[in-house]
Amino acid sequence: MQSLRDSLKVLFAEVCDRLKFLAESDGRTGSVLSAYAKVRITRKKIFKQKVSKMTDVDSDEEQLEMEEFPDGDEELFEQSYIPNYGTIPGEQEHLPTELVEFDGNEDSIFFADGQRRIDFVLVYEEERRKPGDKKRMRSILSRKRKRAFFQENLMKEGIQIEATKSVMDHSLIFLKLHAPWDLLCRYAELLHIKLPLHSNDIKQKPSTFNCITKIFSVDEDKIPPEPEYFTAPFEMDRIKSFQIDDHDSFFSPATRSRICKFNQQSSDPLCPNERYLLYEEWAHPKNFYKLQPLDLIRKYFGEKIGIYFAWLGFYTGMLAIAGFVGLVCFIFGILTLDYNTWSQEVCDPEIGGRMIMCPQCDRDCSYWRLNITCESSRKLSVFDNYGTLAYAVFMGIWVTVFLEFWKRRQATLEYEWDTVELEQEEPRRPEYEAKCTIPKKNPITQEEELVPYSACGKCMRLVCGGSTVLFWISLIIASVVAIIVYRLAAFLNFSAKLPTAIDDNLEPLKDYLTPQMATSVTASLINFLFIMILNILYERVAIWITDFELPRTQTDYENSLTVKMFLFQFVNYYSSCFYIAFFKGKIVGYPGEPVYWLGRFRNEECDPGGCLVELSTQLLIIMGGKAIWNNVQEVLIPWLKNLIGRCRAKSEEKLPRWEQDYRLQSISKLGLFYEYLEMVIQFGFATIFVASFPLAPLLALINNIIEIRVDGWKMTTQFRRILAAKAQDIGAWLPILHGVAVFAAVTNALIIAFTSDMIPRLVYYWALSVQPFGAHNSSTMQGYINTTLSVFSIADFTSLSKPKNTPPWFDRENATTCRYRDLRYPPGHPLQYYHSLYFWHIMAAKLAFIIIMEHVVFTVSFLVSYCIPDVPKHIKEQIKRERYLTQKLLHESQLTDWHNKMAETAKNIMKGPVSMKSADMDV
């Protein structure tokens, strides 16, 4: 059903259109309802009218107002409320707003009469006046008149108002608004609100999984399932055709009241408090395993919040499948740990212990044995195995299945929540309206209207905004370069000092605390701090840029901000991961001729097993740190603010529910935007780099199970009720998810090809280990480590790179060569230190693998998307049935009424002459 908030929005728009009101917000008063307006009127006319209507009852403030405002002056007014200080010119005078005392019932959501339900709450603060300060008095009186004009127009449209003073602070006035039945029906017809027309008589086949899903469903005795109806746009003339069982329950709470934000939990079971029911059966941590009561969430918070939790729940459910398969892949890696020949060769004292590795930095680094990387190679084998290859292909298909089935789920919700044909023209933003000064001809209406900027001005705004975004993205890249320089300098320092710094007490950690690991962990932590700081700064910049661009509607505003924030967050969160995956250790040269950064720092190398472990460490730190940071921001800070507020305003008196809500924290207009952004960034972590860290979907699943309940808890207990709104889908986030899905398929193929050692091992196993290239008669992994490590002559070291010190075990006389990670010809070869033929074979295999994997994933994804229709068959049938019933019950009934009128008129004509009325001929 269409929301009452939308009805009231049109109501306010109609009023403001008559008075040339312009909505704006007033942050000073802290109003629960940010529905303010301003109007320009000629003070001369108002002054004359006020003088003619002045009575003995008028206050001294009114008299002072007449003296303070000169004849003919013009004022710019903001809406609020005061007792009746006069009426609008040409309109009838209304009675003053009723001011009632709080009756002590802290759980009441009705007017003092106990009959009329509160649908809206406005709050304003009476300003304290200083004697003799005429300038301040003038401002106060101006605000009073503004409130009077706004109140008069609300009452004129039929809104019933009741005022109550705050129990704790008498300067606060709460205005309780009630929309009567006639008003709701009038705007239901005006806005084409879909309402129940006929019970759904299409029988649904029971699902075979009902016995399983019943375990995870909410208690139907407390939250009964919503009855299914066929709906149609409401028409007052055919009100009898609609199924109206009860006037009070015909409109849902979200429809009747989009801003009646009663967040506190009610202890009265007889009080119709859907919020408390949502807390007990949904937001409470005890319900973590239960499905969400989406119909009740939508009924109370509105479709926009409902569609978010529907998407989050569906995404979490699909993550359960991906997380389970990833866990199986991880267990497979652990079980096959002792069967990895290449890992055993690294740890074998006779193989890895005899291989002398070249120094990884100039001068300060020394020679080292390969077997000191035994633990890191064993960790690598847990993630870098054949199971990970299969899992990467699976995730490429899983992403497509997730998005296609979400489209089906979204189509179902669109039908069930009556948003299939959302006939709602979104109003222009108040900030946009306020700056409309340039006339322009509307190509649709062919009428002249005001716009805030010309075509050239709009272009300039977009160019400035785009340039600012590019500048901040460049700033992120600069921070990544700074992290890289730190890694190079830190590795040099750790390589020189860490071996000597480990004493006997830290001897058990010697195998784990390597220079590579120390550099990776510290760089990841510093990079995470950079990410958080840049996020905080850029968030303000992105909002400023979007405000400067001045989008026309709220949807345009959010879409523009979405693109900016996602681009920035994408580069900010993923840039360091891309460096480790595709750049680190790829362009390092060889020991005799290394590659330097900035002409000073030698480019860092990966471990002999590759950079996959370091990439997994980076992902784990960023994902974990981001989840902790977000929970602190979303939960801990609001909870502490509310706690401090309760301690400061501690009172033994009972507070009404509207005042309890006023003391809570308010959610910004972009609160839901940040929730989507958080989940989409997490979706990228769970899909783009899954080939390096198969446990990412499982960690995302655990986080989301907590996230759903945390979001529900804060919305029901810590924040004022969010402004409800209609929403047909998840908006611009769906194409972003599609883009991430395509990008993830390509990235995972590149990670397997260039970051892991999967392809070199496969090439060695199937081709180079057997004759004529190898010495074995059958395919084997034996000798893989020796084949993939190139040989370098110690005599070829330059004076800049030759190590100053050598370890005690190093034999200077007999040790003439060292090994390094690359595929180059050995010294003495005609092409010494050039890439060998083996390198080019592997490069060709990597490119072939990327092409094959991408085509397999994209082909299967295309077939899946083609075979899965976006709209389920039973929904198509119900839509057709609904249209048929609408045609039959509404439109054909109109023809029947006309036919009956014509028959009665013909009968009267046959009896004698009659006068025809135009109403008789109406169709």
My answer on whether 400 and 459 are in the same domain is: no
Task: Kindly state whether residues 324 and 307 are assigned to the same domain.
Answer: yes
- Residues 383, 525, single domain; the answer is no
Q: Rounded to whole angstroms, how far apart are CA atoms 553 and 427?
A: 6
> What are 703-746's pLDDT values in tens digits?
999 999 999 998 888 888 877 777 888 888 999 999 999 999 99
CA distance 256 to 247: 11
The one-letter amino acid at 569: Q
Give me the pLDDT at residue 250, please: 65
On the question of pLDDT at 369 being above 60, the answer is: yes
- pLDDT at 73 exceeding the cut of 50: no
pLDDT of 305 > 60? The answer is: yes
Residues 820 and 852 in one domain: yes
pLDDT value for 206: 60
The answer on pLDDT for 42 being more than 70 is: no
What domain count does the chain have? Answer: 4
Domain annotation covers residue 559 = no
Most confident of 226-235, 506-515, 847-856: 847-856
- On the question of pLDDT at 383 being above 60, the answer is yes
Which of 679 and 222 is assigned the larger pLDDT? 679
- Complete edge-to-edge strand list for the sheet that includes strand 817-821: 368-369, 356-357, 817-821, 789-793
How many residues are there in the chain? 923
Are 229 and 243 in contact by the 8 Å Cβ rule? The answer is: yes
pLDDT at 683: 94
**With left for phi above 0 and alpha for psi between -120 and 50, is residue 264 left, alpha or beta?**
beta
300 located within any domain: yes
In a domain, 721, yes or no: yes
Q: pLDDT band at 882, cuts 50/70/90?
A: confident
Report pTM: 0.77
User: Do 721 and 845 share a domain, yes or no?
Assistant: yes
Domain boundary among 259, 293, 327: 293
Residue where a domain terminates, one of 179, 205, 239: 179
Residue 27 has pLDDT above 50, yes or no: no
For residues 84 and 91, give the distance between their C-alpha atoms in angstroms, rounded to a whole number: 13
Instruction: Looking at the structure, tell me whether residues 710 and 768 fall in a common domain.
Output: yes
256 and 324 within one domain: no
Predicted pLDDT of residue 717: 87
pLDDT band with cut points at 50, 70 and 90 for residue 219: low
Give residue 56's pLDDT band: very low, low, confident or very high (50, 70, 90).
very low
Across 466-470, 715-719, 898-902, least confident range: 898-902
The residue with greater pLDDT, 923 or 570, is 570
For residues 555 and 819, which has the higher predicted lDDT (pLDDT)?
A: 819
Answer whether residue 802 is part of any domain. yes
pLDDT level of residue 676 (50, 70, 90 thresholds): very high
How far is residue 423 CA from its own chain's centroid? Answer: 25
What pLDDT does residue 891 have?
Answer: 65
pLDDT given for residue 46 in this prediction = 40
Q: What pLDDT score was predicted for residue 245?
A: 66
Q: Is the pLDDT of residue 653 over 50?
A: yes
Least confident range from 511-520, 698-707, 759-768: namely 511-520
- Assess whether pLDDT exceeds 70 at residue 395: yes
Whole-number percent of the chain with pLDDT over 70: 74
Is pLDDT of 126 > 80?
Answer: no
Token reading at 134: 């005429």
Same domain flag for 499 and 476: yes
pLDDT of residue 258: 37
> Does the pLDDT value for residue 917 go beyond 80?
no
What mean pLDDT is reported for the chain?
A: 76
The yes-or-no verdict on residue 249 having pLDDT over 70 is no
Beta-carbon count within 10 A of 704 CB: 21
DSSP output for 796-856: G--TTTS-S---TT--TTT--EEEEES-BPPTTSTTTTSBPHHHHHHHHHHHHHHHHHHHH
Does residue 153 surpass a pLDDT of 60? yes
pLDDT of residue 237: 66
Do 189 and 170 share a structural domain?
Answer: no
Has residue 908 been placed in a domain? no
Which pLDDT belongs to residue 694? 92
> pLDDT value at position 511?
56
Q: Could you tell me if 298 and 265 lie in one domain?
A: no
pLDDT in tens, 562-590: 888 888 888 888 888 888 888 888 888 88
Q: Show the CA angle centred on residue 147, arms to residues 142 and 151, nearest 5°.
A: 150
Q: Is the pLDDT of residue 198 over 70?
A: no
Span 3-10, mean pLDDT? 43
Question: Of 90-99, 602-611, 805-814, 856-865, where does mean pLDDT reach its minimum?
Answer: 90-99
- Looking at the domain assignment, is residue 154 inside a domain? yes
Contact 10, 426 (CB under 8 A): no
Whether residues 312 and 335 fall in one domain: yes
574 inside domain: no
Residue 298 and residue 415 share a domain: yes
- Identify the residue with better confidence: 850 or 360: 850
pLDDT at 528: 84
583 occurs within a structural domain: no
Is residue 316 pLDDT above 60, yes or no? yes
Range of the domain at 507: 427-552
Amino acid 879: pLDDT: 80
Identify which of 134-148, 369-383, 647-661 has the greatest average pLDDT. 369-383
Model confidence at 263, in pLDDT bands (50, 70, 90)?
Answer: very low
Alpha-carbon distance of 177 to 172, in angstroms, equals 16
**Is 817 a residue whose pLDDT tops 80?**
yes
pLDDT surpasses 90 at 289: no
Q: Across residues 488-513, what is the average pLDDT? A: 67
Residue ending a domain, choose from 293, 311, 338: 293
pLDDT at 216 over 70: no
Q: Kindly tell me the burial class for residue 833, based on how many C-beta atoms sit within 10 Å of its own C-beta (0-12, 13-18, 19 or more).
A: buried
Please give the pLDDT value at position 684: 92
What is the structure's pLDDT at 502? 62
